[in-house]
Structure 1
Amino acid sequence: MDNGNEARKRPRPVVSCLRCRDKKLRCDRSIPCTNCAKVNIASDCVYNSQGIQSARKQQRTISPENDNADMSSFMSKSDGVSRFQGPGVVETMQSRLSQVEDLDIQRRLCRIEEHLFINKPSAVQHSNLCQFQHSEGKASPRSSTPGGAPPDFLGTLVVKGSKSRYHGQNDRITLLNQFPEAKKFIDSCADEPVIRNLANEVEYLQQRVLDTAYPKKRLSGVESAASFALKRLRRNLPPRAICDNLVEGYKLSFETSMRILHIPTFERQYRTFWKCPDLEPSEQSAFIPQLTAILAISFAIDQGHTIMDPATGSYLETDALDLVSTWIEALEKKERIEMSTLQTETLLLLSRHFRNLSYDKLWRVSGSLVRSAMLMGLHLPPHAFSEISVFQAEMRKRLWMTIVEMDLQASMAAGMQSIIPDLDFTHHIPQNLNDSDFDEMSTELPPAKPLHENTSSLAQVTLAMSLPQRLKVTSLVTRTTPEMDLVKAVVEGRRLEEFLRHIPAPLKVEQALEHYLPALLNTVMLDMFIRRPLLCLYRPLLLEDRPDDLSFMEIQQVCLESSLRILEYQNDFNPCTSNLNLPNIESYWNVFQICFRSDCLRAALNVCQSIKSAPSNSQMTSPSTLPAMRIGTPSYAHPSSPQSQFATSGLAQVVENLLEGLEQRIGEPESELKDNYFLSVVLQSVRTRGPSQKKMPLLHEAAKNTLQACKNRLLQSLPPEPPRRQSIPRPMILEQVQLPHPQTSIPTCSAQIQPMQPLPYAYPPMTHVDQWGMVSTELDPVSYSQYQQMGMFNSSDGNVSLYDTWGL
């Protein structure tokens, strides 16, 4: 040491970085270490170097660019510190020593405060003064706390078994912490028989007064809404054979990226339920709604392959979800904070998503689910509470990550801001473990498996590691304008691209193509969930053309490559274009359309934007090279490089393939005629060069052809009409009909029947768009012949007569 008066400290070896030490990982002591580099937090890789006294006096922050210069100057002043060669030298991080020491003191104080409140014999109310976030020299990317300090949670979490309730800073329970003596006395009242009995008598009298004063609101002997819904759910449950197939389908297709259940625990409850199916529904109150929601989710893929009874399929599509929702809303306050209830709410939201719930409603419901989870304290790190078991802690991590993911995706789909608070998600990332590796009796979790080893939680772990960056990007999207600094956007976008590149090998789409459809669906979901924020960030920046800006050219290329990849995913699931000869591909095609239909439409518009920006005389590659883009990953290559050039005709063909897919599904519930109409007009406008006067006839023709193709597809989908009833020729009837008065006779009917005014509901579908964008009902010869074969038109001029309408 330079100062001989200072106490000499025992020399210590080079230690791990703070993050590896906290997570008990093996650190390679490089700067940054491999573990921090994998999760893209290299700037947060900090070492706690004690004993370097000279660095304590430097109360300043040094940028990474000056690390080498400061390192050399520091080593020249230090005699007691060995000179290490290469990476792994702790002294290179001397600029952050003061911050590290302050954080270390704060963490120790936090632990002391925790122990002051943890050692309680009863259901514990945890300290509201502890800092539940863990920061290693820097806060979460989304944190706005000055200086990188983690924010405080000024609340109280009450844990009782599987129930948990978080009380905010203005709640009575939290405010009681200001008065320790009163709080101690109230806690001890549970063991005081006099006060306890008196309190029970007061509650009983209060109930009687309420029943007397408000008889209409509190009727005794009337079945509650929750009990009524539960009995109907039990009565309408499908047979076990059907349930077995649907439950198995759910486990294969959905319990991957969105982890909600612990499968061994659910299977044990499932077997117990079918062993005693005649038990009162109240004894299985939590399991029956949960099972019903799972069946409703799995039915979205089954689509009648397992369920042959139309009544059962109709029930799972409509009434089942309403009954589960009624049951949840009718629960008492304490039942609402059960872990199983929150799992059922999450399953209900997922099942509603597959019922074509609109994006705005999905966003509102997901926000409500986030608030329900925060009321149970899922946003707090579970390791800070000794009352939460190891099993419950891991399940809370999984469920919280699923709820956050669902709200993030719903927010991007609706174009709205996510309500997820600024949190450090470091302690919420689940372990890469299989469900069979732990259960309710586990006292500690086994070591997490490496990321190259596939587990039932690997997809969720991968998503959770990228969650802070994706939340940061989505918050930046709300402030994105065409005039913003492109360099900042590119920096954030590149970080997301790094996560796409480092998706573990078992979760690559190319690997899933060799297996089966559930694996393909799960890998596509993982890729799309990470890719969505990237496109949401870049898409508005393409509105202002900056051909000389390298950042703008990089954004163009990334958008085009990602869009082509999304459209190639659509071809993998489309039965008409897929090379996968797998059973039940139509059902997975339906699920893909429900989940990613809007993404495909936006990707097609990005391709149209690229066609518009392409020079008219460019000589580019052939369309056959386009599918190869799906195998590759986005690159930083300059857009003028050969690998970034695509044929305009090939890009147009990709959009036309999407239009054909939309046309095939024009009769499905999620289809929108406006999407077909809009995309066809946009494609024609960008592929046609020249003045607007030249484009207008072509746009008119493209719109008419699209509407005509949709009309023909719908006509083919209609069921055949029943045979028309044979009647006696009308002239014979008219000649025989006489008036009541013999003096008057009715003349014979003329050969020609004058047509009446056309009826509006008998017109054919819209087939013509005028120059103002209005649709007319002109009948073309093709439509007339088709409708005449159906028996709708019998007059020569195509008008609807009384003879046609009434069949006389």
Structure 2
Amino acid sequence: MPTPVSQGDSQVIMSDIGASVPDSGANAASTAAPRKRRRPALSCEQCRKRKIKCDRNYPCTQCLQSKTAHCSYSPDSAGAIQHLKKGPSIYQDPIQINAGIPNRSRNAPSTSSSSHLPSDSTSPQVPLSDGTQTSWHSPGSEHLHDKDSAKSHERALLDRIQKLEQKLATANSLNPSKQEHELEDEQSLEDGKSSLDGQDVSVSFFHTLKGNSFFGSRNELHGTYEQKGRLRGTVSKTRFFGQSHWMYSFGTFDRISCMKVNPKNNTPEFAETMKTTDLNELLQRCKSMARAAKAGPHNKFLMNPNYRDAVPLRPVCDKLMMLYFRTHESTLRILHIPTFWKEYQQYWENPAAASSTFIIKMLLAMSIGCCFYQDDDQDWHAQSLQWIFAGQTWLASPFEKGRMHISGLQIHCLVINARLANAVAGDLVWISIGSLLRTAFQMGFHRDPKYLPRMLPLHAELRRRLWATVLELNIQGALDSGMPTLLHLEDFDTEAPANLDDSDLDETMTVLPEAKPRDVYTQTSLQIMLLESFPTRIKVVSHSNNFHSDPSYEEVLALGSTLTKALREHNTFINSVNAASLYSSANPQTQSPIPYVPRMFRNILDLCIRRFLLALHRPFAARAQTDLRYYFSRKVCLDCAMTMLQYPTSDPGDPSIEPGKQDDFTRLKTVSGGFQKGLLVHAAMVIFSELLSQIEEESTFTEQSRAAREPLKQALRGIVDLSALRIMHAENNIKGHLFISVVLAQVEAMELGVPADNLVIAAARKSAEICMALLSKRIPITATDDEYARHVENGSAADGVGLQGASAPQDIGFDTMMQDWTMDSQYFNLPDSWLLSGWEDNQPWGLQV
């Protein structure tokens, strides 16, 4: 009869597998009382916070009834619930396993030794058996196995863990292909996998362990369970775009019937249908012309270091500078207007005595003004690119200490603004903004001037205004690129600028004037209003691009409410200011003149905040199709998209618009880059998704419901028209125009209840013909793939192609405007094979995982 074995000798501490394995002598000699552990909380984190009873389900009943977006458990809570419901599992806590494995003793106990693993009364325990089916028992179970059987399974378990450690170490050191090692590890685990009380523990454990071992421990039990393992971004060629980037929303277009094969009715691929038409040929011709425009030599835009030779005549400079100050210096304050005009006058009195920094500031400001220049006497767009390159060259020159002054930071801000306005690598400004932010930090702009050595009030206010501008450029660039701001509110203490006009400050003052009341409109009011929402918007960017977990829906609603309140207050304030301005203009005898807020400034202020509201609610709006708790987000996104597309462009206070000319805001949307391009894509995605949802949700197609959707379809048609207008002026990428045309055809086909292929083909062909006609007027030549590849490789003009064939300098500027100076324009970043590969691979233009 075998010798009875104590319960502690026969059971193994599986929940603390990472601990070292002492021998039995050490365990017996230990007389210290075991440390009392705190009982793990069993309720979910949301019920614990609300202090209510939780039924410990996922999601729990309380979270479902309260419409809480997420129900999450802490790791200890998840482990305790697993133990209560199904018994303990050695695979339930990847963090604990991952932390313990590197220090695990790898010497299996000898068969002749009587040593065994120590027991712990506070840890879940499990006896080991010889069978493939292992049953979990409580510490008081009477079904005990003999000691030899327990030891053999202890050794088997340690051997399997040791094999996994060796495989992981080899994978980390040699870095072989992912697929090959996953197959090997899966096979290794399949050979020795166990079924623990009906729970299959095999490959899934290895994937969890492998995901945690390389970069260290991470808590995968927090956040949303369904999001585990997702990239939370979009990979396109060599670039990564976070969740706030418009490309991350391309999953919306997966529902377009012409983009993938329908396995139910075996519908032929759209790519095969395209081969039967001349659409491919039209697309290739458009691409050849766009390639020729990009193949221009870069040295065409380089300037002689003597920047004074590039300054136009004074009448042109006066007009361009007036255009700059009329359309800018509202939300982004860079220049002190009276000081600049004083230096401007001194320059024309003695050009040779002007400093190079002032000349560069003037050239950059004029390059922004060129975007709004609409006279027919001469085109200055090509010249403006030279001015931007001049400013960029000045920033890139060595001896950075010589640029560490206020004028240097102003030039840096102007270069970024000019690149955005003229679409010169506008999709990459987030990289340059990082340099701008660090330069401002190095110069101490993050500390309020009151903590710095004594300086003139004018210089102190300029520092506060420039710091607010740097913050705004940084957060806007981060949202556009889907990147983090790399900045926290605790990193700076610079106060907001004083509510003063530029005329209230000059270099002779030694005491800062008293700021005007909050309800008085000044040249700094819009920047102050925008800065007040900065803490909320930086949280939005942080949540949108957080790849660890999603925010709770309650937090999303709170942030959205704050932004909506700010938008409402701004609108009320501007309405009151403009009403007072109109009244003062009508009664000049009794009222002093009150400035009027131009429509463009008003639209930009609203746009700079509303686009954050769209990015905040967009992920939850997509879930509203299956979960009505998020319907509010769906409504908010649609309202934001329609509002941003339908801003009023002029009002009674704006300057009169000459016949045949565009107002300032329409001109900005037509020729500029930056977030104006992303705005079109974002809005189109939201509106198209809403149209599809409405069509799928209605039971019968009626004329009334179709008429109700007409405003949404009209908004998409407006995006198509705006895309054509951009191509006519300077845009070289036709993919936006083509794709929205296809989307409209898909919607029309769904409303008519007919197959979409024929309508989509016809719409795509019509779009390609329109774009080809628009491009051919600006770009009379084409370039092959080889010619363009040589240009990209050496940075010079392709042989006999590109802009060398252009006869006039202004054609150079038109041909290269708005193509963003990258190999793939970010208006619609489709693969090089255009539409075919995106539709054939069921991955429409951007890998979203």
The structure, 1 or 2, with the larger RCO (C-alpha pairs under 8 Å, 6+ apart) is 2
Aligned positions, number: 471
The whole-number CA distance in structure 2 between the counterparts of 1:491 and 1:697 is 46
Deviation of residue 321 (structure 1)? 2.1
Question: Which residue of the partner structure matches residue 116 of structure 1?
Answer: none
1:498 aligns with 2:577: no
Q: 1:322 to 1:657 in 2, by over 3 A?
A: closer
1:265 aligns with 2:339: yes
The whole-number CA distance in structure 2 between the counterparts of 1:343 and 1:382 is 17
1:597 aligns with 2:668: no
1:407 aligns with 2:474: yes
Question: Which residue of the partner structure matches residue 383 of structure 1?
Answer: 450
The whole-number CA distance in structure 2 between the counterparts of 1:590 and 1:337 is 35
Question: Which residue of the partner structure matches residue 363 of structure 2?
Answer: 292
Secondary structure of the structure 2 residue equivalent to 1:419: coil
Alignment counterpart, residue 248 of structure 1, candidates 301, 317, 322: 322
Q: Are 2:625 and 2:693, in contact at CA under 8 Å, matched by a contact in 1?
A: no
Question: Which residue of the partner structure matches residue 522 of structure 1?
Answer: 601
| 1:602-655 superposed Cα distances (whole Å, 9 cap, x missing partner) | 1122111111222325899989xxxxxxxxxxxxxxxxxxxxx99112211221
Residues 713-732 of structure 1 mapped to structure 2, 5 A cutoff = 713-714=774-775
Deviation of residue 251 (structure 1)? 1.5
| TM-score, with length taken from structure 2 | 0.50
Amino acid at match of 2:712: L
Deviation of residue 523 (structure 1)? 1.3
The whole-number CA distance in structure 2 between the counterparts of 1:278 and 1:542 is 59
Deviation of residue 560 (structure 1)? 0.9
The whole-number CA distance in structure 1 between the counterparts of 2:381 and 2:757 is 46
The whole-number CA distance in structure 1 between the counterparts of 2:518 and 2:712 is 36
Q: 1:465 to 1:620 in 2, by over 3 A?
A: farther
Amino acid at match of 1:585: Q
The whole-number CA distance in structure 1 between the counterparts of 2:511 and 2:719 is 50
The whole-number CA distance in structure 2 between the counterparts of 1:579 and 1:657 is 24
Question: Which residue of the partner structure matches residue 232 of structure 1?
Answer: 306
Secondary structure of the structure 1 residue equivalent to 2:306: helix
Question: Which residue of the partner structure matches residue 318 of structure 1?
Answer: 385
Deviation of residue 487 (structure 1)? 2.4
The whole-number CA distance in structure 2 between the counterparts of 1:686 and 1:498 is 35
Amino acid at match of 1:608: F
Residues 174-573 of structure 1 mapped to structure 2, 5 A cutoff = 232-279=306-353, 284-304=355-375, 308-309=377-378, 313=380, 316-330=383-397, 332-423=399-490, 427-479=494-546, 485-503=552-570, 505=572, 507=574, 519-545=598-624, 549-550=628-629, 552-569=630-647, 572=649
Q: Are 1:572 and 1:580, in contact at CA under 8 Å, matched by a contact in 2?
A: no
Amino acid at match of 1:674: K
Question: Which residue of the partner structure matches residue 656 of structure 1?
Answer: 717
Amino acid at match of 1:384: Y
Amino acid at match of 2:628: D
Amino acid at match of 2:633: I
Question: Which residue of the partner structure matches residue 190 of structure 1?
Answer: none
The whole-number CA distance in structure 2 between the counterparts of 1:394 and 1:771 is 54
Q: 1:488 to 1:278 in 2, by over 3 A?
A: closer
The whole-number CA distance in structure 1 between the counterparts of 2:305 and 2:711 is 58
Amino acid at match of 1:524: N
Secondary structure of the structure 1 residue equivalent to 2:598: helix
| 1:53-109 superposed Cα distances (whole Å, 9 cap, x missing partner) | xxxxxxxxxxx999xxxxxxxxxxxxxxxxxxxxxxxxxxxxxxxxxxxxxxxxxxx
The whole-number CA distance in structure 1 between the counterparts of 2:732 and 2:460 is 42
| 1:682-724 superposed Cα distances (whole Å, 9 cap, x missing partner) | 333345438999233333333223223333444677889xxxx
| 1:267-319 superposed Cα distances (whole Å, 9 cap, x missing partner) | 1111222222243x6xx2321111111111211211456xx455xx2663222
The whole-number CA distance in structure 2 between the counterparts of 1:371 and 1:483 is 29
Amino acid at match of 1:600: L
Q: 1:383 to 1:564 in 2, by over 3 A?
A: same
Question: Which residue of the partner structure matches residue 742 of structure 2?
Answer: 681
Q: Are 2:446 and 2:493, in contact at CA under 8 Å, matched by a contact in 1?
A: no
Secondary structure of the structure 2 residue equivalent to 1:450: coil
Q: Are 2:430 and 2:477, in contact at CA under 8 Å, matched by a contact in 1?
A: yes
| 1:558-606 superposed Cα distances (whole Å, 9 cap, x missing partner) | 111111111112x7389xxx99777741665332232513202211221
Amino acid at match of 1:568: Q
The whole-number CA distance in structure 1 between the counterparts of 2:434 and 2:473 is 9
Q: Are 1:434 and 1:455, in contact at CA under 8 Å, matched by a contact in 2?
A: yes
1:607 aligns with 2:690: no
Q: Are 1:370 and 1:407, in contact at CA under 8 Å, matched by a contact in 2?
A: yes
Deviation of residue 257 (structure 1)? 1.0
Amino acid at match of 1:247: M
Q: 1:266 to 1:483 in 2, by over 3 A?
A: closer
The whole-number CA distance in structure 1 between the counterparts of 2:338 and 2:329 is 12
Q: 1:299 to 1:483 in 2, by over 3 A?
A: closer
The whole-number CA distance in structure 1 between the counterparts of 2:340 and 2:685 is 44
Deviation of residue 473 (structure 1)? 0.8
Q: Are 1:452 and 1:505, in contact at CA under 8 Å, matched by a contact in 2?
A: no
Amino acid at match of 1:354: A
Secondary structure of the structure 2 residue equivalent to 1:451: coil
| 1:389-421 superposed Cα distances (whole Å, 9 cap, x missing partner) | 322221111001111211211221222222334
The whole-number CA distance in structure 1 between the counterparts of 2:703 and 2:490 is 47
The whole-number CA distance in structure 1 between the counterparts of 2:498 and 2:703 is 45
Q: 1:370 to 1:433 in 2, by over 3 A?
A: same
Q: 1:391 to 1:664 in 2, by over 3 A?
A: closer
Q: Are 2:540 and 2:612, in contact at CA under 8 Å, matched by a contact in 1?
A: yes
1:699 aligns with 2:760: yes
Q: Are 1:620 and 1:647, in contact at CA under 8 Å, matched by a contact in 2?
A: no
Q: 1:684 to 1:309 in 2, by over 3 A?
A: closer
- Unmatched segments (≥5 aa) in structure 1: 1-63, 67-227, 624-644, 721-767, 775-808
Q: Are 1:433 and 1:449, in contact at CA under 8 Å, matched by a contact in 2?
A: yes
The whole-number CA distance in structure 2 between the counterparts of 1:678 and 1:368 is 35
Deviation of residue 265 (structure 1)? 1.2
State the percentage of identical aligned residues. 26
Deviation of residue 681 (structure 1)? 2.3
Q: 1:769 to 1:548 in 2, by over 3 A?
A: closer
Q: Are 2:578 and 2:596, in contact at CA under 8 Å, matched by a contact in 1?
A: no
Q: Are 1:417 and 1:478, in contact at CA under 8 Å, matched by a contact in 2?
A: yes
Question: Which residue of the partner structure matches residue 616 of structure 1?
Answer: 698
Amino acid at match of 2:599: L
Q: Are 1:567 and 1:604, in contact at CA under 8 Å, matched by a contact in 2?
A: no
The whole-number CA distance in structure 1 between the counterparts of 2:549 and 2:690 is 17
Q: 1:477 to 1:526 in 2, by over 3 A?
A: same
Q: Are 2:445 and 2:464, in contact at CA under 8 Å, matched by a contact in 1?
A: yes
Amino acid at match of 1:710: C
Secondary structure of the structure 2 residue equivalent to 1:423: helix
| 1:239-280 superposed Cα distances (whole Å, 9 cap, x missing partner) | 22222222222112111111001111111111222222243x
Q: Are 1:411 and 1:417, in contact at CA under 8 Å, matched by a contact in 2?
A: yes
Q: 1:561 to 1:309 in 2, by over 3 A?
A: closer
Amino acid at match of 2:756: K
Residues 701-780 of structure 1 mapped to structure 2, 5 A cutoff = 701-714=762-775
Q: Are 1:659 and 1:680, in contact at CA under 8 Å, matched by a contact in 2?
A: yes
Question: Which residue of the partner structure matches residue 142 of structure 1?
Answer: none
